C-alpha cells in the first residue's frame, strides 16, 4: 500500500474510491487529523487494509472486498489467461479471513465469486468491476432508503445517542445509523447527537464527530462510561446504532459497548434502533450466540496514541463486538422495511419480502 494524493475532497462520500482503474481508501486511522488515501494493488493489500482498520464498518468492508476481487482478477488474468480462476482461490481466502464478524464481507465475496464463475472466455476485469460498482451503488441507495424509514420512527423533536461509527465512512456513502440521523435532522427532528467516544479505536470521537461536524449537525462527545448518566437526565428518545451481523432471531452484533448502551436505554425508557442493510442479516445463524466475535490485540487497550497506559505485566481482554439480545431492540431498520420488536418470525417475514 502507498499513500497517494487525490484531487477530491476527502469527505465521507469518498471513503472508497475507484479511479483510473485503481482502488483508493481514505485511511480512517489518521482521521480527523490527517486526510490521505492509500492506493491498493491486490487482494493481499486489500485484506491488510481491512484487517488493519484502514477501512471499517460492515458495509464498507464488503464493498472494499468486492473491489479487491477486481484487483485480484486483473493480476491473475495477467499471470494466466486460461487459469486465472484457480489462481484466485488464494485471493478469496485471504480476503475472507481479514475480519470474521462482518457478514457483509462474505456476502460480497460470494456475490463476486458467482459472477467470476459464470464468466466465459476473455478478460474478467470489466465484468467484475461492474458488479463491484453495483454493490457500492446499491449500498448507498439502501442507506438513503433506511434513512427515510428510520427517521419516520422519530416522532418528536429530540436528541439521540449513537455508538461507534455507522456513517458514510462505514458504508458506501450516507450511512446506516447516521443516515437516519442525517435524514431526521433535515426534517427538523434532531436537536443534538450524543456520540460515545468508543474505546479503544475511538471511532465515535474521531469519525462520527468528524462526519457530523462536516454536515453541520450538532454533536456532543461522551466518554463511553457517561452514557448512562446522560440518558438519566432525559431529553433523549432514541439510541441509534448500526450492526456488523444480525442473527435470524434479531440478536445484534455491533461494536463493543452497544450491549451496555441497550441495557441502560431499556432501564431509562429510551428506545433502541438498529439500522443495517439486509446483507448484514445472517439467516443461517439462529441466535447471536452463534456469531463469531473477533478479539484483537490487547495492545489496542493497553496503549493509546503510541503511549502505554496499562501497567506492566497487565493483560487486556479486547473483544471488538458484543451481542445485544433482540429483546432489547425496539426496531431493526433495513432497506426492506422496519421490524419492530424483532424475533425469528418477524425477521423471516422481512427477509422474504
Q: Which of 237, 244, 251, 282 is catalytic?
A: 244
Question: Secondary structure of 303-321 in the HEC alphabet?
Answer: EECCEECCCCCCCCCCECE
244 a catalytic residue: yes
Query: Between the CA of residue 139 and those of 12, 135, 185, 240, what are the distances in Å?
Result: 14, 6, 21, 19
CA distances from 208 to 43, 196, 223, 257 (A): 28, 9, 13, 16
CA dihedral 231, 264, 199, 258 (to 10 degrees): -120
Question: Hunting for cell 439521540 — which residue is that?
Answer: 160
Cα 319 to chain center, whole Å? 16
Residue 119's alpha-carbon distances to 62, 180, 239, 341, in angstroms, are: 21, 38, 45, 43
Q: How far is CA 98 from the centre of its chain?
A: 14
Q: Which residues are catalytic?
A: 244
Amino acid at each position: 500500500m502507498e499513500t497517494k494524493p487525490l484531487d477530491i475532497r476527502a469527505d465521507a462520500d469518498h471513503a472508497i474510491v475507484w479511479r483510473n482503474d485503481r482502488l483508493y481508501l481514505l485511511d480512517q486511522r489518521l482521521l480527523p487529523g490527517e486526510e490521505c488515501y492509500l492506493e491498493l494493488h491486490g487482494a493481499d493489500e486489500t485484506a491488510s487494509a481491512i484487517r488493519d482498520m484502514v477501512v471499517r464498518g460492515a458495509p464498507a468492508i464488503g464493498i472494499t472486498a468486492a473491489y479487491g476481487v477486481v484487483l485480484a482478477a486483473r493480476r491473475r488474468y495477467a499471470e494466466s489467461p486460461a487459469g486465472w480462476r484457480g489462481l484466485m482461490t488464494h485471493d478469496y481466502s485471504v480476503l475472507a479471513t481479514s475480519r470474521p464478524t462482518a457478514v457483509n464481507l462474505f456476502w460480497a465475496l460470494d456475490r463476486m465469486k458467482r459472477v467470476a464463475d459464470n464468466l466465459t472466455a476473455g478478460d474478467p476485469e470489466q465484468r467484475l468491476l461492474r458488479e463491484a460498482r453495483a454493490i457500492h451503488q446499491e449500498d448507498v441507495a439502501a442507506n438513503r432508503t433506511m434513512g427515510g424509514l428510520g427517521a419516520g420512527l422519530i416522532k418528536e423533536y429530540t436528541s439521540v445517542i449513537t455508538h461507534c461509527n455507522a456513517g458514510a465512512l462505514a458504508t458506501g456513502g450516507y450511512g446506516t445509523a447516521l443516515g437516519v440521523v442525517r435524514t431526521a435532522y433535515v426534517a427538523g427532528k434532531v436537536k443534538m447527537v450524543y456520540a460515545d467516544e468508543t474505546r479503544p479505536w475511538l471511532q465515535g470521537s474521531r469519525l462520527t464527530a468528524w462526519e457530523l461536524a462536516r454536515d453541520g449537525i450538532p454533536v456532543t462527545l461522551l466518554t463511553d462510561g457517561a452514557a448512562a448518566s446522560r440518558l438519566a437526565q432525559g431529553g433523549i428518545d432514541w439510541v441509534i446504532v448500526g450492526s456488523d451481523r444480525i442473527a435470524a432471531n434479531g440478536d445484534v452484533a455491533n461494536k463493543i459497548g452497544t450491549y451496555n448502551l441497550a441495557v441502560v436505554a431499556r432501564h431509562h425508557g429510551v428506545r433502541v434502533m438498529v439500522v443495517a442493510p439486509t446483507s448484514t442479516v445472517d439467516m443461517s445463524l439462529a441466535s447471536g450466540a452463534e456469531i463469531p466475535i473477533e478479539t484483537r490485540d490487547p495492545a489496542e487497550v493497553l496503549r493509546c496514541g503510541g503511549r502505554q497506559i496499562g501497567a506492566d505485566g497487565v493483560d487486556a481482554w479486547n473483544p471488538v463486538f458484543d451481542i445485544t439480545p433482540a429483546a432489547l431492540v425496539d426496531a431493526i431498520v433495513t432497506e426492506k422495511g422496519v421490524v419492530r420488536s424483532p424475533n425469528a418470525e418477524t425477521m423471516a417475514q422481512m427477509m422474504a419480502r
